[in-house]
Structure formats: C-alpha cells, structure tokens
Chains A and B, each alone.
Chain A
C-alpha cells in the first residue's frame, strides 16, 4: 500500500505574532497580578461593600477556617501554640499589627474565642480582611 507522502513543507513564518501576544500576556500577568503564597487553610473571607482598601500583609496574618482550625505564619497551630507565637511576634516590634483572615462561614463563638485568645496574647485591635462584593 502506498501512503501519500507526508508534506515536508516547513510551516509558514507566522509564528512571530503569536510570540508577541504571548509575551504581552506574560508581561501583563507579571505586572498586574500579585504573587502570593497559597494559604495553609482554605479560607474564603466575607464580602463587604465598604471597608478601607488594604494590601495583603506579608506577615502577622492569622487564618481562621470555617471549622475552627487556626494558622499563623504559614503553619497550622493549636490555640495555645498560636497564642504563644502571636505574643512573641507582637513583642518583637511595638508597631506590629495583626491581620485576621477569617472564613465567612465561621460562627461567632469561634471568632470570639480567637479574639479572646489574641487579647491574652497582647493584641488590642486587629484588621479583619474582607473581599469587595461583586456587583
């Protein structure tokens, strides 16, 4: 049987526009997005319409998942250990301010347990992170 000979022609040189577009996309994603480390817990913050625009800080972020699990500085911690870590972190710098990233579905008693713990660790106020709601 004779197979038709595969065309050995080189593809046409219209690859340059493709590269241009891909480079543009690459630069867009590099500049427009923020590279963030993935969180250790799955936390979906509540949505609000108001609130001050905020940057996601690099450190001092406490995660509170809907099931009550806690994490600080990239590690999941038990409440007692978290209190110690937070107290140490706050003691290191006088201007340090805690940020709380809590799940929208977390119940008030869990949130207040955490806030009590943070008071014992030496915090007096903190910033709670939210996402602007899409309208």
Chain B
C-alpha cells in the first residue's frame, strides 16, 4: 500500500514571513508603549487659608530647613528615624492630632516625601503641607 502525502513534506502555501513581520512590529510597539512603573500614593491636605495654625492649636509642626534639618515643635531632631520616634510618642500621648509639615521654600520634594512618609509611618492620619514662614 502506498501512502501519499505523509512523506512529501509539501511547503505550505501561506508564507509565514509577513505574519512574523506584523508580529514583530506589534511586539516592538508593546515593548515601547507599555510601562512597568509601580505607583504609590501619599495623601496630603492642602495648606490652610492664611497659612497659620488657625483652628489647629494642637497640631504637631515639623519644619524642614533649607539644609534639610528637621525640627519638631521647635526642637531640633537629628534625622528622620528620630523624627518618626518622636512623632509616634507625641501621637501616643494624644492621638488624632493634625500634623503640619512646613518645608523651607528651597527644599526639594524628594526631601519632603522622605519626611512625610516617616511621619505617616509613625501613625499620623491627617497631614498637611504648609508654608515655612
């Protein structure tokens, strides 16, 4: 018995090359257009009208100096870790207090977020950014 076809290995009529071209173009498109960035968010309150501690007499105030130095309620704090501990202690004594971060005008946002994430880690629920002076 003679079986035809199985041994004949005919080349398929449809050429694969255009398909590969299109698939490559799609691949390059998706490689360039997609982003794998991971996003995080920090919730901040907008500054109060007038810029003071009006209506918030119990607020904890964190100042960031132009050189990045930190002050908590007027007292110098060595670094962000010490700030986190101090804020945690303040909040343990009296929970729910508003925290106001007052950066100097020239402080970069990177430094502000470093401070903000530490005070949020310390448990500050409400946090507001405000002017330094």
Contacts and interface: CB of A to CB of B under 8 A. Distances in A.
Interface of A: 10, 15, 18-19, 22-23, 25-26, 29-30, 32-36, 46-56, 99, 102-109, 111-112, 115-116, 118-119, 123-132
A130 B23 contact: no
Nearest to B48: A119
Nearest to A55: B39
Contacts of B11: 10
A106 B120 contact: no
What is the interface of chain B mostly: helix, strand, loop, or mixed? mixed
Interface residues of B, number: 45
Given A104-B113, A128-B43, 18 more contacts: A26-B23, A26-B30, A29-B34, A30-B34, A33-B35, A52-B42, A56-B39, A102-B109, A107-B107, A108-B103, A108-B104, A115-B47, A115-B129, A118-B46, A125-B46, A126-B44, A129-B41, A131-B39
B7 interface: no
